[in-house]
Amino acid sequence: MNSSSNTVVIADLSRCQGYANCVITDSSRFDLGDDGKVSILQQGVAAEELPLAEEAVKSCPALALRLESEPT
């Protein structure tokens, strides 16, 4: 069951260096594009997915990822 959440993942492609830590941590949400930069496969984050998404965001050494709450 997916619990509702208004959290989304945002990528700053100008900061992404292609380390792929986010992909290793959460491959259902992140991938690397042909340009070697992060591609977000699933931007919305359900409440039960939040811990893994937070871990993936924190794993980025380039600080290219962040979580934001969208207004409901």
The answer to the question of residue 72 being in a domain is no
The tokens describing 60, both together, are: 């980025």
Two tokens, residue 21: 């830590």
Residue 2 counted as domain residue: no
| Amino acid at site 71 | P
- Number of domains forming the structure of the chain: 1
User: Could you tell me the CATH number of the domain that includes residue 48?
Assistant: 3.30.70.20
Q: What is the pLDDT of residue 1?
A: 42
* 47 part of a folded domain: yes
- List the domain range (segments joined by +) for residue 19: 7-67
Predicted pLDDT at 71: 74
What's the pTM value of the predicted model, to 2 decimals? 0.88
Per DSSP, the three-state class of 8 is strand
pLDDT tens by residue, 2-47: 566 799 999 999 999 999 999 999 999 999 999 999 999 999 999 9
Does residue 1 sit within a domain?
no
pLDDT at 53 over 70: yes
